[in-house]
Structure 1
């Protein structure tokens, strides 16, 4: 991924007011027409990174660069961010039940976003809303637009959330766990929609715990641990030949689809560190089976082959 990336995050740090650092220096890129899967355990910083891109973390202190279409979003005034948010950068939130206002219909909320960013009449905005809901596979979209969030199933709410995210044809779509708690049929349909969005030229950043979702919907993957990216590269390379011990451990914990089922799956010992207990050297060293003395110095994210980077002393030249 080169300098013409749609989204280029470099050394992004995020601090609490008390000085605790939540993100230690996140770096990755997303290009138009590509989908980046961001994976890692809970607390690794995936959603914080996404919310930083959206400018939705008031009270926290960001540094580094979040360059979107040539413009650095770090420190951008909220008025300027509002023009981008929803129009050129959109997000599918993790829980559509809490992301939608419960006292307004689904259609009214999608209509409002369309009219906020585009010169459309109420009738034109509603026609666009119904069209989008239909494209998402929502039955009787005109009637569904009149319903309130609690009147739709979880799968239909998720589709409505995707319709809202796509309402202004954004250049970048951020999807935070878009298939969580959905049955496999609805999950497959949503992954198909994400691939279509990617193929139509938008950049997609997909946050998930599910490596199967990454394999199906993404072209590249970034593995995060304790506020850092520890490995990134083309999805097939990373899944077939994981380099970082943490990536290897994550993949080893996935139940095999074929062959004999193991009596017990491998687990990663210990717990991810909290911000105040983060090691000064390699952040994964306390849980790593390959730890050695030079792990006391934090490794840089180095290029091991074209398109692949890993932060581990095992690959240092």
Structure 2
């Protein structure tokens, strides 16, 4: 690799105005004083108000950076956004910042980079390449995230996510969200939580939720293990694991969801008699599923090539079928 000449001429930052202390969170949730700090080690947080959107905060930080660099928005040749949590699916956050800086009709290119934790470094790399090739002289790179937009402050238990005591289902890694929205529409009397760490999947789900008009869906934009660690025991009535990452290499099998690291926390949050469904097109994944899941406290109910009656074939399954792979389905019940 060869170094690319790049000079950072200015930096800026912005924090939401309102500060929320751990003591206030304790009071809001009805916890003993000091509980939140003991659990998470954080004494205070900055909380964004309604007018402090991701693009609004980014624009404020950008103005500060430009002031340090002694330039104006009109001097910019490119705007790159590197947010982990987008403000909206379309248009991108970079375009919203472009407009807030008065460049809405300027023709200045503006686009987002979606690389989650590596997003800012990737955006800096792209900025350097544009400068090195002469396509740009001044590039604005920003990252602005509000990860708490989906928080429900009413009660810290699963039922309160939906505001009542309805049965709660869990989908681990919902991909594009078509199966989860289908279940939410088919069973309006339940609430379903979906976990998905990839922002593209979350964005696709939001569009499907809007199109289907369902209101009994809640999203955890992160790893399912983190959610299971905070869910109350026996709070989940049904769980789905549809076409999970196969981790095909033998040395990576321990990263699969069907390992004790994930199955034991799942068993803890599932109710006695709750159903756990697994769908995959990888024979070795199903082999490991049939071996590991019963050891975590589940009984095998059924396994074979026939899907469930209320099954919706996902885009991952359609790809498997096109490529000649045979789907397999397994149903377990929590002891």
Q: State TM-score, norm by structure 2.
A: 0.26
Q: Which has the higher contact order (CA 8 A, sep 6+)?
A: 1
